[in-house]
Structure formats: C-alpha cells, structure tokens
Structure 1
Amino acid sequence: MRKLKLQMNILLDNKWDSGMSNFSIDNLKSVDCILHGRKTAEGFIPYWAEVASNPNDTEHQLGKLFKEIPNAVFSNTLKVSKWDNTTIISGDIKEEIKVLKNKNGKDIIVYGGDSFASSLIQHDLVDEFYLFVNPAELGNGQQTFNPLKNDLELKLVNCKPFACGAVLLYYTR
C-alpha cells in the first residue's frame, strides 16, 4: 500500500534555503502523486508551473519535478481540472484517499493546506509527517502572526528535541 506523506511549513518570516529545497527534491523522488486541497492547488500548481518554465529561477529543478509529477486535487466544487497533468477527486475524503493509496505506484505527498491537512489527519490518513518549523512565512497562506513588514534576520542558537516528539527551536535576532 502506498503511503501518504504530509510536508508542511510552520512559518514566520520569508526565508527558504537550498537545504530545504534539496530535502524537498529528495522527498519527491519517492512519490508519483502530489495531492492537494482545492485552495492550495489554486496557488501551488500555477506558481510551480511558472517556476518550471523559467530555467533561470533558483528553484527551477524543484519546479520541474512539481510540474512532471501528476497532481490530484480533492474538491467537491471543481468538476474539471483547469491544470495540466491534474485530476480532480471528489466524494468522501476517507474513502477516496483509501482508493488512491491502494493503487499501484510510489507514495503520495501533500503540501499543507491547513484545513485539508487537518481533514486528512482527522481521518487518520497520513502515514508520515515532514514538518519544517522555520521562522519564515511563504506566499499568501494562513498566517500565524500579522504580516511582517521586514525580515526578522533570526539566528538559530539551539534545537532541542523532546521525548514526546516536540522540538524547541531557540532563535536570537
């Protein structure tokens, strides 16, 4: 059975680095489907298609992978895909994702979307969690803090894992 991987960012400011990109590229090598909720798909798919079309973009390699790997969008409002290489899935989320997971192939990955990810977690459909806890905020997604006007320019001083799985990240300015 295919695994469903959830990769999310918990973010504050506007930073991303090559190590995060390399991790994401490596993580994509084990999947053959990118699953989205409708809201995330509307920004994610066009953005990465644009990056993939620009060989001078620093994230071109990642964009090409996002464009090449088939997408599935879970939506009860969209009936037809408006994006290339993308299918629409609707119906009962638990049953439809189980069908998707039982198909032959590599694993499936989901990139956030707070409400969609919450639904997947609530229905016990996520097999692996990859959480970037980062003092950055990307795009126009849900914001933990009010929009920041300037980069925070934080320095990681210490990272402390706890037995329960929580991680304390200690930053200074």
Structure 2
Amino acid sequence: MGRIIVSANVSIDTVVEDPTGEEGTAHGGWFLRVHETDRAARAELQLEEARDATALLFGRRGYEFFASRWPQRDGALADRLTDMPKYVISRTLRNPAWNRTTVLTGDAAAEVSALRDRTAGDILVYASFQLVDELILRRLVDEVRLLVHPVALGTGRRLFEPPADIPLLRAGVRQIGTNLVLLSYTPEGPARG
C-alpha cells in the first residue's frame, strides 16, 4: 500500500501561491528569495525526495504547471520527474503530453484511495492545493512535508485554505541549507466530509 505525501514549499506564513512570480501577484517570486547555498540544498532535497518516491500525483493545474517546465529541463531531478509515473485527478485534461501520465477522471477521494491500494511506495503530491485540501479532509494524506522559506508575505493563497482544523503530529524537523527548514507532519483523527 502506498503513502500519500504532500510536499510543499511555503512561506513562513504558509503562503503557497506564486512562488516563482509567474502568476503576477504582488508577492510573487518568494521561492527565489533565498541564498544560493539554500537553493543548492533545496535542489538536493528535491532530488532525494523524488528518488525515494514511486509516483507523482497532481490536480490538473499543478500538473500543467509542472508539465510545461520539467520535460524541457536537464539534470537528475528533471530526468527523475519525467521518468516517474504521474497521475492527474481531472475531469477536463485530455491527451497529457508529459510521458507516463495517467488521467484519473472519477471522484478524487475514490481515485486516490484506489491508487494508494495498488501502489507500493510514496506518492508525492506537488503544487496541487485544491486537491490537497480535499485529500487532507478525507484523511487520505499520510504525511505533510513543508519546506519553509524565511519570508512572511501577509497575503496570498495559503496551504489548507479554507482551514482544515486537523491536528498534525510532528514527524520531523530538518535544517536545509542555512535558512530553510523542512517540517514533517502526520495528520491525526478520523476522516470528515
């Protein structure tokens, strides 16, 4: 049985929106506001996480963001992401271009439960926060990993919006580079909704 792992880059006040600045928000580009040594450490962490995982899971918008960038990139992380099986929860996505992509068109909770049952290993969820909101409420997330960037933005789409009111138990704390911190949590409590 697989494990659903949410992996998110967040500001210190849990904003996840517009990390690269491509969405054009006033606070965009915060992901890039770290020292070069922190960028290198973050890249090492991302590669380690991808190597340890079995598959990727996305909502449509998160998939489109990744699929428009990663297939054209070079390097070990790009190769790993491209080679991994990818699953997309979407009723509208047709003919995905990124190789090894399967579109799951049914109910998100049912599709993810079935995916979990037939997959051995970690299934990473990247950049798919509407999907994460549903999965966390349905208690389908086994671990939440937050790579905290040392910037407070004050506005923007936050992780778990609207608030999920779900207790999270600390599973780990790890310094990444000089200024980044990886926080790991496991959700607690029975499923709702």
Q: CA deviation at 1:50?
A: 1.2
Please give the alpha-carbon distance, in whole angstroms, between the structure 2 residues aligned to 1:136 and 1:66. 27
1:114 matched to 2:129 = yes
- Unaligned 5+ segments in structure 2 are 12-26, 159-177, 184-193
Structure 2 counterparts to residues 56-95 of structure 1, below 5 A: 60-95=75-110
Determine the C-alpha separation between the residues in 1 that align with 2:67 and 2:129: 17
| Cross-structure match for 2:51 | 29
Residue type of the partner of 1:69?
A: M
- RMSD between aligned alpha carbons? 2.8
Displacement of 1:82 in angstroms is: 3.0
Runs of 4+, deviation exceeding 6 Å: none
Aligned partner of residue 32 in structure 1, secondary structure: strand
SS in 2 for 1:17: helix
d(CA) in 1 for partners of 2:91 and 2:83?
25
Asked whether 1:3 is paired with 2:3, we answer: yes
| 5+ long unaligned stretches in structure 1 | 53-59, 146-154, 162-173
Paired residue for 1:39, among 48, 61, 65? Answer: 61
Larger radius of gyration: 1
Separation in 2 of the partners of 1:67 and 1:143?
Answer: 30
| CA deviation after TM superposition for structure 1 residue 114, in Å | 2.0
TM-score calculated relative to the size of structure 1: 0.70
Q: Deviations over 1:27-75 (max 9, x none)?
A: 12222210010001111122111113xxxxxxx2211111111111110
CA separation of 1:64 and 1:7: change in aligned 2, threshold 3 A: same
Letter in 2 for 1:25: L
- Equivalenced residue count is 139
1:51 aligns with 2:82: no
Q: How far did residue 118 of structure 1 move?
A: 1.1
Q: Per the alignment, do residues 24 and 8 of structure 1 end up closer, same or farther by CA in structure 2, a change over 3 Å counting?
A: same
| CA distance 1:17–1:103, change in 2 (3 Å) | same
Q: Distance in 2 between matches of 1:116 and 1:135?
A: 26
In the alignment, the residues of structure 2 paired with residue 3 and residue 19 of structure 1 have an alpha-carbon distance, to the nearest angstrom, of 25
